[in-house]
Structure 1
Amino acid sequence: MNSANATSKTTPPDWPYPLWIAHRGAGKLAPENTLAAFRLGAAHGYRMFECDAKLSADGEVFLMHDASLERTTNGQGNGGDLPWHALSLLDAGSWHSRTYAGETLPTLHALARFCLANGHLLNIEIKPIPGTESATGEAVARLAAQLWHGAQVPPLLTSFKPDALAAAQTAAPELPRGLLVDTPWTGWFEKAQELGCVAVVANYALWDAATVARVHSAGLKCLSYTVNDDWAAQHLLALGTDGIITDRVDLFSPNGVSRA
């Protein structure tokens, strides 16, 4: 890593994030990216959560994974085409089960209140609607910097989109960043360094001893998604990776002991 990149990288002291991270709040046990899911994940003992953040048509940062509304709400079309007021009226729970009927899409502001009030940590995946990568990265980073101002541990910002991370780096360079990698692409390692990332968050199948050693040798952490089987978790632990994102909050306790 060259000196300019080293200077731009902000690493939280002693890597304050726990090993186990609950995917989208509580994995599949509750409707993803809703406050109900984060509350359920916390009830299972998790201290850190992953969420997906995107922009409404009028610039509100809200939580949803897909670009389209159909899978996880009763709405239709592209979520980024609607203003926040319209999005806030959607049912984001009935698709999962009757227990969660009427659950709403939360804003990042609402999730921040929950996390800060309870001492929980957050991995915010910047999940832009196609074509809004830079705008979303900037908006998420600016808002996160405001919401967590003065907090002992800031949120970890991650994205598959380098343009989103670059915008986040410019908007709030003090917030730690991680590059998400689903399949290897030419220059991913160099790009993570160029963006001043503190971590690479990869599909768990990509990690082997050589790749972990390469990432660690650059001073970056190795995180994995989405790990739902005990054999995969044990393999990652043996490799010495630093974070495991899981849906199975019912299988893995946050201290790494299987509940089975």
Structure 2
Amino acid sequence: MPKRTLSLPRVIGHRGAAEAAPENTLASFREAKRQGAAWVEFDAKLSADNRAFLLHDDNIDRTSNAAGAARALTYDELRVLDAGSWRGPQFAGEKMPLLAEALALFAQEDLQFNLELKPCPGRARDTAKIVLDELAHLWPAAKPKPLISSFVLECLEIARDQAPELPRGLLLEDHPVNWLDLAQNLKADTVNIWDQAATPEWVAEIKAEGYGLLVYTVNDAARARQLIDWGVDGIFTDAPARILAAVGQ
């Protein structure tokens, strides 16, 4: 059974407050804070010149005014793109921030966070090593330790070995029969599962094994209340204020 050293919130702002602001931007994190979120979640990957920055997709098409593979662009090339107008004209000029910029904001705003290692194809090892090294150098030791999660097992294995002091979250989309073996091998602290895969039985099974349990991505208040009633620890949501009103802190 894992040693639980991580105090989990009931609500985590998914990519900030992605329903109201452009995801994975400083504006989105500020909005999540404004809505009452104590935690946010975001995605970190590497540019072509190995700079850690925030973006969910492999491509920049959906969340910027350009197109193409993120891994093919240097950060200077990414930096000049507009990553906000797609969400609304009030966000025109918002950038894909560097990890360093996000960490500075979180420290200033007292935001805790779940950092998802989201490597571009073929870049799992470099992404995990560089992001974790940057986190070790930039995140204040006096602040609560962040939760590191990933769908990519190689990233979590590197996190386990390179930064064993950081809590780890096993991200799952389906319900693998060997989920417990995976969690034990990674020395995970949490299991983070997809809302559509969540059942009362699996929730009870995960909790009985001593893991923290987080569910993504839930924007419906009634569903959030149901999950909390089942025993889920926390909810990732694009709408922190709505879910906080339903389930509390």
TM-score range, shorter chain: over 0.9
Contact kept in structure 2, 1:137 and 1:166, CA below 8 Å = no
Instruction: Give the match's secondary structure for 2:135.
Output: helix
Contact kept in structure 1, 2:191 and 2:213, CA below 8 Å = yes
Which moves more between the two structures, 141-150 or 47-56?
141-150
2:75 is aligned, of 71, 80, 84, to 84
Q: Does 1:182 align with 2:173?
A: yes
Structure 2 vs 1, CA of residues 76 and 52 (structure 1 numbering), >3 Å: closer, same or farther?
Answer: same
Q: CA deviation at 1:143?
A: 1.7
Q: Does 1:45 align with 2:36?
A: yes
In 2: Cα distance, 1:203 partner to 1:151 partner: 32
Gaps of 5+ in 2: none
In 1: Cα distance, 2:228 partner to 2:248 partner: 12
Which moves more between the two structures, 196-205 or 177-186?
177-186
Letter in 2 for 1:180: L
In 1: Cα distance, 2:182 partner to 2:166 partner: 17
1:94 is aligned, of 85, 88, 98, to 85
Q: Does 1:20 align with 2:11?
A: yes
Instruction: Give the match's secondary structure for 2:159.
Output: helix
1:106 is aligned, of 83, 97, 108, to 97
In the other structure, the counterpart of 2:132 is 141
Letter in 2 for 1:50: E
Instruction: Give the match's secondary structure for 1:234.
Output: helix
1:35 is aligned, of 9, 26, 34, to 26
In 1: Cα distance, 2:14 partner to 2:144 partner: 19
Letter in 1 for 2:17: A
Gaps of 5+ in 1: none
Contact kept in structure 2, 1:27 and 1:249, CA below 8 Å = no
Contact kept in structure 2, 1:134 and 1:166, CA below 8 Å = no
Contact kept in structure 1, 2:47 and 2:70, CA below 8 Å = yes
Which moves more between the two structures, 143-152 or 26-35?
143-152
Q: Does 1:123 align with 2:114?
A: yes
In the other structure, the counterpart of 2:229 is 238
1:67 is aligned, of 31, 36, 58, to 58
Structure 2 vs 1, CA of residues 130 and 55 (structure 1 numbering), >3 Å: closer, same or farther?
Answer: same
TM-score (norm 1): 0.90
In the other structure, the counterpart of 1:203 is 194
2:212 is aligned, of 196, 221, 240, to 221
Q: CA deviation at 1:152?
A: 3.4
CA RMSD across the alignment: 1.8
1:150 is aligned, of 141, 146, 169, to 141
In 2: Cα distance, 1:186 partner to 1:255 partner: 32
Alignment length (residue pairs): 249
